[in-house]
């Protein structure tokens, strides 16, 4: 799928023609070739092209995509570059959150954490679907690691809001309503996300968002990717002062 490296520096030559890692039909029958070509080839590409046009005269030229998102979010008062940057990153993360013949129950490490934080995998699955269906309008649903609490949580965000942008501010702001009125911690590490904009599913599911979300969890989500992301997140969580032996 779209392969936007997380360490990518935005350069004047457009990072537009990025090859997909999977064929357009690799996620069928749950996401059709037609939807992938429209979603990846048009909608996501529009965000890439628009961002590059903005960066030609932007103070954010040379920032990594993650840095740009955090800075341009501007503590809840997004600057013009924010929407396109966040949508480019969100979409890349979305494609990487899926694999052919995915879904089902995750491996032991991830499964144990899910069972600890949700009570059971079934509870997690129901919470993910419930959160996706309770989002009014367009946005995203995420499984995140709350770094300070060292626990998983399901959250949804509206429009282009990304947990990356919320990492350094208090996300219990009522207007954001990120966590269903439950105050969130200061650091949210994304593990998976699902695109809830209509262009992501309308051709295949019409207005049946429930079936789209259910098929994602049951047949598409890449638990292998979640395991790698969880390992990376835990590396930061557990990072401490080194023990230097005394001579």
| 22: pLDDT strictly greater than 80 | no
Residue 69 tokens, joined: 């998102």
Average pLDDT, the chain: 81
Q: For each of the domains in the chain, give its residue range(s) and CATH number, in order of start.
A: 33-170+185-237 (3.55.40.20)
More confident site: 146 or 160: 160
pTM, two decimals, is: 0.81
CA distance 94 to 86: 12
CA distance 226 to 206: 28
Please say whether the beta carbons of 132 and 180 come within 8 A: no
Please say whether the beta carbons of 167 and 187 come within 8 A: yes
- Sequence-separated (6 or more) residues with CB below 8 Å from residue 242: none
Q: What is the pLDDT of residue 231?
A: 82
Predicted confidence band at 170 (pLDDT cuts at 50, 70, 90)?
very low
Binding site members for Mn(2+): 39, 91, 195, 199
Binding site members: 39, 91, 195, 199
Mean pLDDT of 63-83: 92
Instruction: Give the pLDDT confidence of 102-116 residue by residue, as tens digits.
Output: 999 998 889 999 999
């Amino acid at each position: 799928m779209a392969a936007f490296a997380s360490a990518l520096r935005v350069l004047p030559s457009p990072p537009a023609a990025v090859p997909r890692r999977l064929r357009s039909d690799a996620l069928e029958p749950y996401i059709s070739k037609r939807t992938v070509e429209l979603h990846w080839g048009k909608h996501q590409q529009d965000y890439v092209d628009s961002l590059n046009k903005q960066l030609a005269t932007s103070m954010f030229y040379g920032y990594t995509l993650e840095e740009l998102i955090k800075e341009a979010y501007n503590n809840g008062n997004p600057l013009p570059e924010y929407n396109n940057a966040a949508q480019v990153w969100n979409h890349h993360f979305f494609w990487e959150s899926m694999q052919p013949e995915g879904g089902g129950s995750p491996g032991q490490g991830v499964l144990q954490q899910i069972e600890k934080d949700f009570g059971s995998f079934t509870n997690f699955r129901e919470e993910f679907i419930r959160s996706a269906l309770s989002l009014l309008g367009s946005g995203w649903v995420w499984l995140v690691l709350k770094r300070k609490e060292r626990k998983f949580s399901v959250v949804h965000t509206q429009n282009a809001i990304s947990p990356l942008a919320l990492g350094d501010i208090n996300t219990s702001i009522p207007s954001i309503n990120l966590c269903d009125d439950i105050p969130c911690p200061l650091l949210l590490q994304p593990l998976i996300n699902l695109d809830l904009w209509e262009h992501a599913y309308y051709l295949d599911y019409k207005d049946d968002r429930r079936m789209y979300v259910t098929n994602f969890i049951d047949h598409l989500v890449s638990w292998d990717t979640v395991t790698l992301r969880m390992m990376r997140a835990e590396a930061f969580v557990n990072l401490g002062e080194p023990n230097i032996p005394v001579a």
